Amino acid sequence: MPLFVGTQYKKTVDLYFFHASIAELRAYLHLLTPADVKTLYMLKAAGTGLVTTDKLAVKAREDISQSILDTLGSLAFENQVELSKLGSTVIEGGYLKTVLIDLVSLFSKQITIKNGGLIESDNYQEGISGFRLNSDGHADLNDVSVRNYPAKLAANIEVTVGVSGDFLTINEALKFLTGYVPVYEAGGISATVKLKSGFVMEEQVLVKGVNLSWIRIISEDSQVTINRASLVSEMNYELPAFGVEQGGSLPAIDCLFSMDNSVSTSVVGIYANNGGRVIVEVGAGVIDVTDGYGLYVENGSYADALSAKFSNAAIGVLANSASSINFSGGEAKNCFFGVHCLRASSVNAISVDVSNCSDYGFNAVECGKINAHQGEATGAGLFGFRVMTGGLINAYYGNGTLSIPKNSLRSEGIIFQ
């Protein structure tokens, strides 16, 4: 029986001609499988032949295209181009329907993946390179770097810490807030961590090279307890509740903390090292740091602690190795040393109360300089104002005993009064 291609033969008459050009003809003795169809398109990519359908009805072309798409799935880009030529493009007003769009740039407010669809990079190879995002939410990332840029903080924000708060720890709250980047606004933008009533600090806040001064820590209670036994991680050999180094800045401390005596370990309330910076607001601070330091800054660090409180410590306030503290109006009473300044450091301690210290109220050593104008250093066990190895103290209108005669330059240093 003869084989007719491109027409229907009936009684020596050709009917229903196929309106297209045929460049290549193949015959199969079985129904084509998906693999067969894919092979055909691979052959086409190699330039072995082409069947055009430019004269087929639109509906027929769509049916053919969808059938092949369902069968082949994802092809190489060159084959997708050829496959798209089987389809059609519809443009009606703002509506566009087509098979393949090759773009340099795409600007869109929203991209929706249809059920069963996907988005993938041109170099995607499963388990090797590129990425693929499926409509079912599955993401396959191979050798892909994902950057998560923080959101801009353009309005005030407050989070709470405690059993009934937004977070259980201060560190969790700080991690959340640092997911934002504060932007400039006239009058400033505040980010606040509020410690709920009854909160006990059983953690350390240790900052390295990060500026957190735009965050402020406050409390519902007038005083917050620090669990001394929880201070186990060292910063430059110290054990601080709040510590900062490498040019970083602590959150501003705007509440009063009290160190408990759960253990006898020597600790530090607030510590700054290696260019670290800290702000302690009026009436805030850390008290009761027996066997330790209330505020300790060293190695080029700085603390702004106007009218802050660091009483009942081994050393209330200590500035070491070219560091500086602004402590005017503050309190460091009932300590061994109230204010201790050494090694070319300076402390501005106008009207500071260091009364009833067991050794020295104000102590300047090794070119340390203290401005203790109107300082209260009465009740000291040894001297209210003491200099040694080139120290300098301004004690004008101050109250307390002197370690050397006033206004007399000696090897120990000088005390002006």
Count each helix (H run) and each strand (E run) in the chain, helices first: 4, 32
CA 255 – CA 224 distance, rounded (Å): 8
**Residue 56's pLDDT is what?**
43
Residues 201 and 79 in one domain: no
Residue 343 DSSP code: S
Residues 50 and 193 in one domain: no
**Residue 34's pLDDT is what?**
74
Residue 137 lies in a domain: no
Residue 48: Cβ within 10 Å count: 11
Residues 349 and 278 in one domain: yes
Residue 336 lies in a domain: yes
**Residue 79's pLDDT is what?**
64
Residues 308 and 397 in one domain: yes
If phi over 0 gives left and psi between -120 and 50 gives alpha, with beta otherwise, what is residue 396? beta
Is the whole model's pTM more than 0.85, yes or no? no
Residues 62 and 195 in one domain: no
Domain boundary among 59, 92, 125: 92
CA 416 – CA 143 distance, rounded (Å): 68
Residues 43 and 164 in one domain: no
Q: Which of 319, 183, 173, 192 is nearest to 253 (CA)?
A: 192
- Mean pLDDT across the stretch 21-27? 68
Residues 72 and 186 in one domain: no
**CATH number of the domain bearing residue 195:** 2.160.20
Residue 183 lies in a domain: yes
**Residue 412's pLDDT is what?**
97
Residues 210 and 291 in one domain: yes
**Residue 49's pLDDT is what?**
46
Structural domain containing residue 67: 8-92
Lowest mean pLDDT among 114-118, 261-265, 363-367: 114-118
Domain boundary among 75, 92, 109: 92
Kind and range of the H or E run holding 67: helix 58-72
- Structurally, how many domains does the chain consist of? 2
Residue 376 lies in a domain: yes
Render pLDDT for 266-299 as a digit per residue (tens, 0 to 9).
999 999 999 999 999 999 999 999 999 999 999 9
Domain boundary among 68, 92, 116: 92
Residues 243 and 327 in one domain: yes
Residues 162 and 87 in one domain: no
CA 294 – CA 318 distance, rounded (Å): 8
Residues 334 and 408 in one domain: yes
Residue 128 lies in a domain: no
Residues 180 and 308 in one domain: yes
Residue 48 lies in a domain: yes
- Mean pLDDT across the stretch 127-143? 77
Residue 119 lies in a domain: no
**Residue 417's pLDDT is what?**
97
**Exposure class string for 13-28: b at 16+ Cβ within 10 A, else e:** eeeeeeeeeeeeeeee
Q: Say if residue 50's pLDDT is above 70.
A: no
Residue 49 lies in a domain: yes
CA 397 – CA 375 distance, rounded (Å): 7
Render pLDDT for 355-400 as a digit per residue (tens, 0 to 9).
999 999 999 999 999 999 999 999 999 999 999 999 999 999 999 9
